[in-house]
């Protein structure tokens, strides 16, 4: 059975990483004082390599008894992203350069500020150019006492063989579908279950991929909502019915789509009431506030019927007709 655990994210992002086995192994080494000085963490993009490395940093620097305790000053500083002895490189998506590596080498020569250790985490290490990787070699092979370096990479093969051979390897595999789903539910409580389930299924164990999948879905819904609005105000009943009532939507697809439509109507309503600034494309929508308010109401009712297991085709056909009337 997987034990779920909230671990430390960096900055605002808090991610659950299902790396129980790897964490247990790391703690065993820590407890027996046999941790390595150089690690290579490999795993698919978005799987939580950085979060895992930060978790290890917490375990290494924690001042509590049950490491990482999550509540001591060191753990809290790491969680909040400003521990002076935890150095992140390439965290902003930029490739770690040879200049960065020189800076890193300089910093490893300093004395830790808070404790006895310093942790250096290099995100996207596989994207580093060969000269930068080469510059790293010596320090990676034999860092100064108390320095622990983590190289994070999507694929071990993108590292030079010389670098690869000098670090202890940790391979992170994905989260189970169930774990992903429960994490998505926690992060997106308002997104319908069916949508989250689809994202969890398509994500191949990666929370990052699941989120990308969700964003794509949301983008598609916004586009569709825009089409519905255009058809409604063009007075094109046939097009409206064919857009809204003809496609064979599933219930779990319809709910987020109706939400997107409602949000767009609401934005238009606020624009017309001078609460929101007018976007260029809004000027094309010749809708009265009365019409928009009526369409909002109709959408809320339609959403309720869908949620209460109403017959989809019947509900959506009535909805399309009502929208056409209301847009008038
Ligand atoms: Zn702690």
Contacts of 145 (CB under 8 A, 6+ apart): none
Global pTM value: 0.57
The verdict on residue 1 lying in a domain is no
Show Cβ contacts of residue 200 under 8 Å, excluding neighbours closer than 6 positions: 177, 178, 180, 181, 184, 210
Least confident of 218-222, 274-278, 307-311: 274-278
pLDDT band at residue 284, thresholds of 50, 70 and 90? low
pLDDT at 6: 33
Residue 81: give the domain boundaries: 20-174
Domain match, 146 and 248 both: no
Is the domain of 92 the same as that of 61? yes
Domain shared by 183 and 169, yes or no:
no
Sorting pLDDT into bands at 50, 70 and 90, what band is 250? confident
Distance, in Å, from the CA atom of 9 to the CA atom of 15, rounded to the nearest integer, reads: 6
**306 is a domain residue:** yes
pLDDT at 319: 96
Q: How far is the CA of 65 from the centre of ligand 1 (A)?
A: 8
Q: Is residue 187 part of a domain?
A: yes
* Position 8 in a domain: no
For residue 119, the CA-to-ligand 1 centroid distance in Å is 15
DSSP structure class, residue 77: H
Locus of tokens 């670098």: 163
Percent with pLDDT over 90 in the chain: 51
Do 123 and 89 form a contact (C-beta atoms < 8 A)?
yes
Whether 103 shows a pLDDT value over 80: the answer reads: yes
Q: Is residue 2 domain-resident?
A: no
CA of 76 to the centre of ligand 1 (A): 7
- CATH number of the domain where residue 137 is located: 3.40.50.300
**pLDDT tens-digit map of 11-60:** 333 344 457 788 889 999 999 999 999 999 998 877 789 989 999 999 99
Number of domains in the chain: 2
**CA 320 to centroid of ligand 1, rounded, Å:** 57
Å from CA of 86 to ligand 1 middle = 14
Summary mean pLDDT of the chain: 86
Tell me, yes or no, whether 193 and 126 share the same domain: no
Distance 83 CA to ligand 1 centre (A): 12
Structure tokens at 163: 């670098």
The answer to whether residues 209 and 203 touch, using CB atoms and an 8 Å cutoff, is yes
């Amino acid at each position: 059975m997987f034990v779920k655990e909230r671990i430390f994210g960096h900055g605002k992002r808090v991610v659950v990483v299902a790396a129980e086995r790897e964490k247990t192994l790391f703690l065993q080494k820590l407890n027996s004082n046999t941790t390595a000085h150089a690690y290579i963490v490999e795993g698919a993009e978005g799987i939580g390599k950085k979060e895992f490395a930060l978790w290890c940093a917490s375990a290494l620097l924690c001042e509590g008894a049950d490491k990482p305790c999550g509540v001591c000053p060191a753990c809290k500083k790491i969680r909040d992203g400003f521990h002076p002895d935890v150095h992140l490189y390439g965290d902003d998506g930029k490739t770690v350069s040879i200049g960065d590596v020189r800076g890193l080498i300089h910093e490893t020569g300093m004395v830790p500020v808070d404790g006895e250790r310093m942790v250096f985490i290099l995100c996207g290490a596989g994207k580093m150019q060969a000269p930068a990787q080469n510059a790293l070699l010596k320090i990676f092979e034999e860092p100064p006492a108390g320095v622990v370096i983590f190289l994070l990479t999507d694929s071990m093969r993108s590292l030079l063989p010389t670098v690869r051979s000098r670090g202890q390897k940790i391979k992170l595999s994905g989260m189970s579908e169930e774990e992903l789903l429960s994490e998505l539910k926690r992060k997106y409580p308002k997104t319908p279950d069916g949508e989250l389930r689809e994202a969890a299924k398509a994500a191949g164990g990666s929370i990052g991929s699941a989120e990308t999948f969700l964003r794509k879905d949301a983008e598609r819904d916004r586009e569709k909502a825009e089409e519905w609005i255009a058809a409604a105000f063009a007075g094109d009943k046939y097009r409206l019915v064919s857009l809204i009532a003809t496609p064979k939507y599933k219930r779990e697809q319809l709910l987020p789509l109706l939400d997107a439509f409602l949000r767009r109507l609401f934005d238009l309503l606020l624009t017309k009431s001078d609460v929101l600034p007018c976007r260029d494309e809004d000027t094309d929508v010749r809708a009265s506030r009365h019409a928009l308010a009526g369409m909002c109401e109709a959408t809320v009712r339609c959403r309720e019927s869908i949620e209460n297991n109403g017959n989809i085709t019947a509900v959506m056909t009535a909805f399309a007709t009502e929208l056409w009337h209301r847009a008038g």
